[in-house]
Structure 1
Amino acid sequence: MIYRDFHRENEIGNDVIKKYSDILPKELISIWKKYGTGSMMNGFLKVVNPDEYIEILRESFADYEGVVPVMLTAFGDIITINSEGRVDIIYYRYGYYSVIATGWEMFEVFAGDSFMNERMFKNILYNAAVEKHGRVEFEECFGYVPLLALGGNETVDNLKKIKTKEHIEVIIEMVGIISDMKSIIM
């Protein structure tokens, strides 16, 4: 179960729950009611209020129509659910997005499996980053400085704690909006 070490940040208001209850999977709505927003998986995954990230998603992702941001990774990647229930991840650090599950239940199973978790989230450096820099706060992520797209190296030494929204904005300003889809063959 991916929620076993959930650390609550805030509750999600009834207005937000009502707004998305006919759009998002019932399982996710139940998580919102039970836990609210917060982090889990040793701080790597964050359940977010979609309304706080929908605007930046629209500004940064070419395929944003019918897509709802529901989670973030500690590397500033946004996990979304589309109108058919498909779960995607926008890897801002790499400049593309991928389908990671065909439904929410499958996503939860994959996220709870260490092999699949590593493949989906590309989180191999996370524990080393936490050891070197400490855990990120809820509004922060680890960002590569310099950005990978600008020649930065994918090393723990190049990771810095950065505000998530500002980091995404810098990536988009420097690299452009995310429009490429790549398979993460499992």
Structure 2
Amino acid sequence: MNTTFELDEDFEWFLEQFGSPTFSQSVTSETIKKFQGKLPDRLLAYWQEYGFCGFKNGLFWVVNPDDYEGVLEAWLGDTEIVEQDAYYVIARSAFGELYLWGANNGFKYIIDTTNGWVIEKKGDKKNIAKGNMDDAIQLFFYLKRPEPLDIKDPEEKPLFEQCKIMHKPLAYDEMYAFEPALFLGGEPKLENTNKVNIFAHLSMLASFGQKELLDKDGLIQKAFG
């Protein structure tokens, strides 16, 4: 890989929305080499330049896929999804929403762990087949916005900043969780939140076995009934 980093317009736009990383840990050359050919070179270039990092004090994170292998297995190991492509968690939100990248399909799935949903996206199979994997990952970051990453309480007030004040900012391995989980009847209220270890918590949520696989139409039906 070329070690000279040049900022592209798409990631520059992402940084305009999210600011510079508020947390960063460097990525080893061994990790970079491990994912060469599996993930876009452009993503690996972001890793080299910014590290595995958090933005907006933990609202959005670019993560090491190795750390999420166990969580991914817990959520998708009994589905056909893992047979269709090699998937990796490349990013996540403060509330444990996971963003999956497939070696052949690109950005194909979101795991909304708070609701127990595995959401199927359009993906980038045609783009990647043409050798445009870097364009696909740049688009992923270009389309990200802070507001949809937050969760609102019943009064439509965003919870992230409230959680940050009550529970302190997140570390790399932490998330804000609802107790009980929303798919178990919990409500998205500040008094129902806690700061937990993301790996232990997401594995526990998967163990309830209540995940639903949703495409675009299924998601719309969930939102509007």
TM bin (shorter chain): 0.7 to 0.9
How many angstroms apart in 1 are the aligned matches of 2:160 and 2:43?
25
Q: Which is helix-richer, 1 or 2?
A: 2
Give yes or no for contact 1:74–1:141 (8 Å, CA) kept in 2: yes
- Equivalent residue for 1:66? 86
Map 1:34-73 to 2 at 5 A.
34-61=49-76, 62=79, 63-64=81-82, 65-73=85-93
Pairwise CA distance, 1:107: 1.8
Does 1:90 find its partner at 2:111?
yes
**Alignment RMSD (CA, Å):** 2.2
Partner of 1:76: 96
Opposite residue 93 of structure 1, the aligned amino acid is T
Higher alpha-carbon Rg? 2
For residue 181 of structure 1, what is the aligned residue in structure 2? 214
CA contact (8 A) 1:69 1:78 kept: yes
Question: TM-score, normalising length from structure 1?
Answer: 0.84
Aligned position for 1:139 = 173
Where does structure 1 lack aligned partners over 5 or more consecutive residues?
none
What number of residue pairs does the alignment pair up? 179
1:170 is paired with a residue of what secondary structure?
Answer: helix
2:5 maps to what in 1? none
Contact 1:8–1:35, Cα closer than 8 Å, also in 2: no
**8 A contact 1:140–1:163 mirrored in 2:** yes
Query: Whole-Å Cα distance in 2 between the matches of residues 85 and 144 of structure 1?
Result: 30
CA deviations over 1:82-133 (Å, ceiling 9, x no partner):
122225321111111222864322221221x45xx51xx3544222322333
Any gaps of 5 or more consecutive residues in structure 2?
A: 1-12, 125-135, 152-157, 221-225
Q: TM-score, normalised by structure 2?
A: 0.71
Aligned-partner Cα distance in 2 for 1:182–1:42: 31
| Residue of structure 2 in register with 1:171 after alignment | 205
